[in-house]
Structure 1
C-alpha cells in the first residue's frame, strides 16, 4: 500500500504546507492538552457563547472478523458483537476544500495525527447530493440514480424513487442495523429532504435537518419524526446532539454507527437567497482576519486564457478578489466550530470508554474552487473539486501515517461495512461498487486500490437531460492524468505531472483531437479512453476496481 510517515509528492498529493505555515495556531484552543483529547468543550452544554510503503499493523482480527459461514449479518449475539466489532463514527462536512484542513489543528492532531491521512482522497462525483448518495449506498451515480442536487436526475426525490425505492430499502443504515448495530444520523440529509419526505429504512435515530439547513441558526431537526428547533449555532447544536447520542449508546450491548453530517463550510442560504459565504459562530468572528487562500498563489487563479476549457461550466469573468478573501475567511471561521465539534465527540468517546474501540472517519462531500480557472464552487473536473480531506483513526489503523492511495467517497460505505463484518453479505446482494480502505491495512494480505478512478458529474441543463441522460461530464483520473468527456462534445486532458495546475488542455476542445505539440500523448489518450469505456457502466468492485498496467509514457 501507499503508506509513509514522510509522504512523497506525486502529482495530486496535497500541498498544505504553505497554507499551514500561514494559519497554524490561529484556531488552536488554549485548552488542548498534551495527554488525552481536549479541555472543556466550547460546544457543550456549559458553553458561554452560542508513495513509499511502510508495513502497517493489521487491523484487529476481532474488528474485522466476518460473520459465521452461512449466517446473515445479524447472526452474532449483540453482547458478543459489542466485544468483537468497533463502534463507527462518520463525520462529513459540506464543500470543504482539502487545503482547509490547515485551519483545523484539533482535527489534524486527533484524527490525522493518530490515524491515517489519505492525502490523495477524491470525491469522484464532486457535488453535495450525489456524493452523499454514494456514501449512503456505496455506489456510483449510474447505479444509485443520483446525478445532481435537483432536477429529474437529482435530489432526495430521485434517491427515493430510483428503482421503486431501492435506496430507501437498502442503504448503509439498513445494512448496519442488520449487522447488529444501533444506527444514528444527524445533520444535513440529501438536498430537497423535508419533513414530508420518505424516511430511509434502517436508522434507529433519524435526525436530519429539514428547515433552515443553510441558515446556521434556528435550524430545524426532525428528531425521529418530531420537529425541534434548538437554539444556538448549528454546528454547536450538532455537536451536542451527536455527543448526547453517543453517551446514550455507550452502555448498550450493541455497537453503534453514527453519521454526523455538518453543513459547514457551505455558503449560507437565508430565505432562499444564497449569501455567498458561510456564517460563523460569534466566538470565531475575529479569526483569520488576514488569511489569504492558497488559490491566490496559483497560476490558475483567475486564469488568463480559458479558451481551452468548456464555458458551460460557468467560466466567465474573473472572480473579484474581495469576494475570494471574504469567502475564504468565513469558510475557515465556520470550520473552527467543526474542529471543536470533532474534538468534542472524541472527548465524549474517551469519557465513555469507547474511544479505543471506535473507528472514526472524517471527510467532505466535495472540494471547492475559489478563483482557480475563474471558477467558484464545485461540480467541476478540476483537481481542487475532486480532492477532499479524508482522515481515519481507530482499532488497528496505523497512527500518524499518510497514504497516497486513490481513496474515494464511494469507498466509505464498504469500509464501514467491512469494519462491521457485513461487507460480503451486502456484496452478495448485488450492492456496493467501492473497495474497503481496510484492505490497505491487512499486513501481508494488503491489497492496493485501483490506479484509475471514474469521475463524473450531472447537470440540470436541458441538452444534457434530453440527450445525455443528465450527465455533465464523465472521465477518469489517475495519479498523473485527468481525462473528461463533456455532454457538449468537448473533451479535456491534463498531464498534472507537467501541468499541476491544469492550465493547458492537451486536446482541441471541440474535436477532442490532440493539439499540435501534444501528439506524443496519443497512446496515453487511447488508454484513458479505453479505461473510461470500461468504467462508465461498471457495477461492483470486480468491474469498478479494475487493475490496469502502467500507462505508457508520452513520446
Structure 2
C-alpha cells in the first residue's frame, strides 16, 4: 500500500470531524505520529523517494484576500488542506522571512525590523545556516526567486552570485523590487531587467527553473523552489489615479498603495470594503488607536483595497501557470506545494493600514498545502506559524536543520488533527518591534485557542480578545472579572514561552483552556 493510500485511510476516518472545526475549550495533544505506520503516511513520504517542494510566498496577502483568487481556490484550496489559524508571530516582512529561512521565532533569529538595528538584509546573521543550506546538503537542487529580505541589493551583494545554499539565485534587488512594472534581478551575479510586470516575470522564471530542475540528472534529484511574489505589496510606479496624483495638495490622503497589472486595472472597481465590525473601529484597548478616518480617507482606502485585490489577480494567474507546467511535465504528483503569505494586512480595520498590529487581520496568513497524501478540500483549525513552514520543508526533504527548531512539522499537525478528529490547540508566542529598527518591543503576548492576549510595552496595558465571541476583536476583556481565570492562565503560558527556543517552544502539550465564568 502506498504512503498516500495509508494517509488516505487516516483522513477518511477524520474527514467529517475536521472539515469544519468549531472553536472549543479542549486542548489536544499536538504531537508527532505515535506509530511507524502513521509516520509513513505523512504527506510527502513517497515510496519512491522524497518530494519536490514548491514554496510560494505572497507579500502582504491577507488571509481574507484569497477569496478573490479563483485559481488559488480551484487549484490549491479545493485540492489541498487550508490551515485557518495560520499566523505570522511577528507580522512584518523581514521577521516573517527570517523565520521561513530558519524555523525560529523572531525573538531568537533577532531580525526584527525592515531596517536599522536588527533589521533588513544586513541585520540577518547566520546566512550559512539556513533552510536552503540544509536542503542542499540533503541532496536537493535549491532555487530562489523574487523578493528576499528588505534592502537586499543596495550593497556589494547586488553583484554577488547569490546567498549560501542556493544553486539558482534569481532575487529582485532593492529599491527596484517595488517597481512592479519593471523590477531588476540579480540572476546568479548578473543584473537583469526583464521589463515586464513583476508577477509575470516571476511566473516565467519559476517555470524555467522547474524545467531545468526536472531535467537535472534525469529528474532523479528532488528540488526545492521558493518563489516570492511582490504584488499586492505597495509598489509603483505611481499612476494618474493614485492618491498622490489625484490629491497632490492633501498629504492626509496619500495612503500606501500598490500597482495592478494593466490588464487587471479596474476589474474590481465596484468592490467595497468588508462590512465587518472592525472596519474603521478604534475602541478601547487598541495598541495604537489611530485618528478616526475622514470620509475622504475612507474613499481612498476603498480604492487601495480595490487595487490590492486587482494586483493579486496577476499572482493568481501565475500560480495557475506554474501548476499547469508541473502537470504537463509529469512533476505534479511528486511535488508538495506550500502557499502562504508572509503576514496579514489591514485596510481600515481598527482604523489602521498595514501590518505589525496585534489584530488577527494583521497576524493571520493564508496557508494551503497540496501534494502527495495531503487531504483535499478540508480546513484545519490547529494553530501554525511561519516558523513551522521552514521546519516542515526540512522534514519533507529529510534534511537536518543546523538550528534547533522552534517550529513543528505541519504534516504531523495535520495527521494528528485528523486522527483526533478535532482542532488541536497550541500557544503561539507573538511579539512586534519598531518597523525601522529598535530593540524594545511594541507588544508581546500569546495566541492560544480562542484567545489573543498581549501586553502593550509602552503602557503596560493588557489586552485580551476572545475570538470565540468577538471574532473581529472589538472588545478588550482583560479587565472583566469573568475573564480573570483566563487572564491568569494566559499570563503563565505567555511567561513560559516568551523566550522559548527549540525544545522549550510549544510542541506537545495537553490540558484544559480556561473559559470565562458565567456572567
Which TM class, normalised by the smaller chain length? 0.7 to 0.9
SS of aligned partner of 2:57: strand
The 8 Å contact of residues 122 and 388 in structure 1, kept in 2 or not, is answered as yes
1:235-384 equivalent positions in 2, closer than 5 A: 235-252=199-216, 253-270=220-237, 276-294=256-274, 297-303=275-281, 306-311=283-288, 315-318=290-293, 320-384=297-361
Q: How many angstroms does 1:10 deviate by?
A: 3.0
Distance in 1 between the 2:58 and 2:43 partners? 30
Aligned to 1:544: 506
Q: How many angstroms does 1:276 deviate by?
A: 2.1
Query: 445-454 or 247-256: which moved more?
Result: 445-454
Q: How many angstroms does 1:57 deviate by?
A: 8.9
* Structure 2 stretches lacking a partner, 5+ long: 1-10, 239-243, 245-253
Distance in 2 between the 1:380 and 1:135 partners? 20
Question: Does residue 478 of the first structure (1) align with residue 448 of the second (2)?
Answer: yes
Distance in 1 between the 2:258 and 2:305 partners? 9
The alignment's TM-score, normalised by the length of structure 1, stands at 0.79
When the two chains are superposed, the root-mean-square deviation of aligned CA atoms in Å is 2.8
CA offsets 1:426-455 (integer angstroms, 9 cap, x no match): 2xx442210001103447996886522111
CA offsets 1:510-532 (integer angstroms, 9 cap, x no match): xxxx2xxx112111111111111
SS of aligned partner of 2:215: coil
Distance in 2 between the 1:128 and 1:327 partners? 19
- Of 401, 405, 415 in structure 1, the residue corresponding to residue 382 of structure 2 is 405
Aligned to 2:109: 144
The 8 Å contact of residues 11 and 496 in structure 1, kept in 2 or not, is answered as no
Shift in CA distance, 490/241, structure 1 to aligned 2, threshold 3 Å: same
1:436-447 equivalent positions in 2, closer than 5 A: 436-442=409-415
SS of aligned partner of 2:60: coil
Question: Does residue 64 of the first structure (1) align with residue 45 of the second (2)?
Answer: yes
The 8 Å contact of residues 233 and 258 in structure 2, kept in 1 or not, is answered as yes
Shift in CA distance, 58/293, structure 1 to aligned 2, threshold 3 Å: farther
Shift in CA distance, 542/87, structure 1 to aligned 2, threshold 3 Å: same
SS of aligned partner of 2:87: coil
1:72-471 equivalent positions in 2, closer than 5 A: 83-160=48-125, 166=126, 168-194=127-153, 196-197=156-157, 199-211=162-174, 212-252=176-216, 253-270=220-237, 276-294=256-274, 297-303=275-281, 306-311=283-288, 315-318=290-293, 320-422=297-399, 425-426=400-401, 429-442=402-415, 450-459=425-434, 465=438, 469-471=439-441
Shift in CA distance, 442/306, structure 1 to aligned 2, threshold 3 Å: closer
The 8 Å contact of residues 138 and 397 in structure 2, kept in 1 or not, is answered as yes
Question: Does residue 528 of the first structure (1) align with residue 478 of the second (2)?
Answer: no
Q: How many angstroms does 1:58 deviate by?
A: 7.2
CA offsets 1:484-513 (integer angstroms, 9 cap, x no match): 112202221111222222112123xxxxxx
Distance in 2 between the 1:554 and 1:547 partners? 21
The 8 Å contact of residues 255 and 301 in structure 2, kept in 1 or not, is answered as no
Aligned to 1:30: none
Question: Does residue 487 of the first structure (1) align with residue 448 of the second (2)?
Answer: no
CA offsets 1:280-309 (integer angstroms, 9 cap, x no match): 111111311101132xx1122112x53432
The 8 Å contact of residues 238 and 260 in structure 1, kept in 2 or not, is answered as yes
The 8 Å contact of residues 407 and 449 in structure 1, kept in 2 or not, is answered as no
Q: How many angstroms does 1:3 deviate by?
A: 5.7
Distance in 2 between the 1:96 and 1:449 partners? 25
Q: How many angstroms does 1:548 deviate by?
A: 4.5
* Structure 1 stretches lacking a partner, 5+ long: 13-50, 66-80, 161-165, 508-513
Q: How many angstroms does 1:460 deviate by?
A: 5.1
Between the two proteins, the alignment pairs up a number of residues equal to: 469
Distance in 1 between the 2:507 and 2:215 partners? 39
Q: How many angstroms does 1:269 deviate by?
A: 4.8
The alignment's TM-score, normalised by the length of structure 2, stands at 0.84
The 8 Å contact of residues 80 and 370 in structure 2, kept in 1 or not, is answered as yes
